[in-house]
Amino acid sequence: MADICARHPDRFPAWVASLPMNNVAACLEELTYAIEHRGAKGIQIFTNVNGRPLDEPELAPIFERMHAYDLPIWLHPTRGAKMPDYATESTSKFEIWWLFGWPYETSAAMARMVFSGFFDRWPNLKVITHHMGAMVPYLEARVGLGMDQMGTRTAELDYTSIVKAMREKGRRPLDYFKLFYGDTSVNGSAPAIRCGLEFFGRERALFGTDCPFDPEGGPLFIRETIRAIESLDLPHDVRDLLYAGNVRRLLRLA
């Protein structure tokens, strides 16, 4: 990917590294090599590591390092049919694991990062969520008012102290969810892009398409995402930030 970017800088202005998350030492070595020696502008990770959540302490050095580089982390969902949707079943049917399971993965990973304290530990951590924040923008007021009451649904553990500590910093749980970035990869839905933009705001929404995973094998998602964005009649400056300005700033591109 570094070579492709070097050969076609007009088409491919930057690339990000994929990492062996199951081996933290190798992961750190690879991301240092990719960023410092090959010019990678970020990393892509998945929402779980062989079924483990991203807030396991062993993985912290990876986020620590990315925070120090001040470069973004692309968060991509992953899940297979082996995660059942019902307690009495052993697999997920009808590809629900993909359809809704993937956005659920993204949303759950965001919650784990928020409530385990990622953004208190690494205040400028930049995490770009796929599917424009997945479940969060549509359910923003559930996240807001619902998690203001966090702890009232749980007897065995004291979750109220988490919200109390946030409140002492002048923040609600929802404020932390607004620290993520979202890409416009919602398969060309204008209502969703508008809803997502209202949630993330002009500085934290980024153009993305999920190309080539459409029925045409590439062009459809690009075309439809652009069509959806154009249909929203956004102010010129917001449109420019969405298409290019925000990613230029995040990746420190010329």
**CA dihedral over 185, 60, 39, 70, signed as positive or negative:** positive
Q: How many CA atoms lie within 13 A of 91 on its CB side?
A: 5
Does residue 34 bind a second copy (CB under 8 A)? no
Residue from 108, 128, 234, 242 binding a second copy (CB under 8 A): 108
Does residue 160 bind a second copy (CB under 8 A)? no
- 40 and 34 Cβ atoms separated by less than 8 Å: yes
Q: Which residue has the tokens 């209502």?
A: 191
- 221 and 188 Cβ atoms separated by less than 8 Å: yes
Residue from 42, 72, 182, 188 binding a second copy (CB under 8 A): 188
In the complex, the smallest distance separating the C-beta of residue 221 from a second copy, rounded to whole angstroms, is 8
The total of other beta-carbon atoms located within 10 Å of residue 135's CB is 18
Does residue 147 bind a second copy (CB under 8 A)? yes
Does residue 159 bind a second copy (CB under 8 A)? yes
CA 248 to chain centre: 17
Does residue 30 bind a second copy (CB under 8 A)? no
In the complex, the smallest distance separating the C-beta of residue 142 from a second copy, rounded to whole angstroms, is 5
Return the residues of window 212-251 that contact a second copy according to CB under 8 A.
214-215, 220-221, 224
Does residue 98 bind a second copy (CB under 8 A)? yes
In degrees rounded to 5, what are phi and psi of residue 155? -95, -35
Rounded-to-integer distance, Cα 21 and Cα 178, Å: 26
Does residue 96 bind a second copy (CB under 8 A)? yes
The total of other beta-carbon atoms located within 10 Å of residue 140's CB is 18
Does residue 139 bind a second copy (CB under 8 A)? yes
Q: Pick the closest to residue 208 from 216, 98, 10, 196 (CA basis).
A: 196
Residue type, 45: I
Of the ranges 11-19, 35-43, 61-69, 194-202, which one interacts with a second copy (CB under 8 A)?
Answer: 194-202
The total of other beta-carbon atoms located within 10 Å of residue 203's CB is 14
Of the ranges 6-14, 32-40, 99-107, 238-246, which one interacts with a second copy (CB under 8 A)?
Answer: 99-107
Does residue 150 bind a second copy (CB under 8 A)? yes
Residues that bind a second copy (CB under 8 A): 48, 50-53, 81-83, 85-89, 93-96, 98-100, 103-104, 107-108, 111-112, 115-116, 131-132, 135, 137-151, 153-154, 159, 162, 186-189, 191-192, 194-196, 198-199, 214-215, 220-221, 224
